[in-house]
Amino acid sequence: MSKRLPDLIEPSQAARNGQQYRLAIAQSRFPRLMEMLQDDGAREVDVALDFFEEPETGYPAFTLTLKTPLSLQCQRTLEAYDEPVDETYTAVVVNDEAEAKLVPEQYDTWLLEAPKLNPWQMIEDELLLAIPQVPRKPGEPLVWLDGDAAAEAEENPFAALKDLMKKH
């Protein structure tokens, strides 16, 4: 098990060796992710990356687990909130579409675009995919009132006088 993540990994060799990585990476190391965050990215992403050979095909495969809170902007309240990320992604590494068709259905496929895999890009891609399409802070839903209901909901300062007039 390694605590240092290389810039590039040769997936076949990593799978043959059963290579494992366990580390914590500052969110600020991922520039595309930083564009989405409401804080300085000082929090860490707990990363577990395990390589193995897929038993049926013998192709290299990996399991990537990511755990971190992401500070996002709620699209209802426009306030910052923490979106917990606890994702596990397992995929078989393939070189082309023909190989992808041979992979058992329980696995996703990761199309290798170069001879080596960039784990940093892979981690950032999965973090971005974990962000909800419309980030919303958990809790009570907002109640929207139409124009007439909103006007009725406002307190009328003369309502008390109206009640007094009815008594006399």
Residues 68-106: tens digit of each pLDDT: 999 999 988 889 999 999 999 999 999 999 988 888 888
CA distance 109 to 96: 10
pTM score, whole prediction: 0.78
The pLDDT tens digits for 114-148 are: 889 999 999 999 999 999 999 988 876 666 666 66
Mean of the per-residue pLDDT values for the chain? 88
Sheet holding 80-94, edge to edge: 20-26, 44-53, 60-73, 80-94, 108-111
| Ranges of H-type helices in 35-118 | 97-100
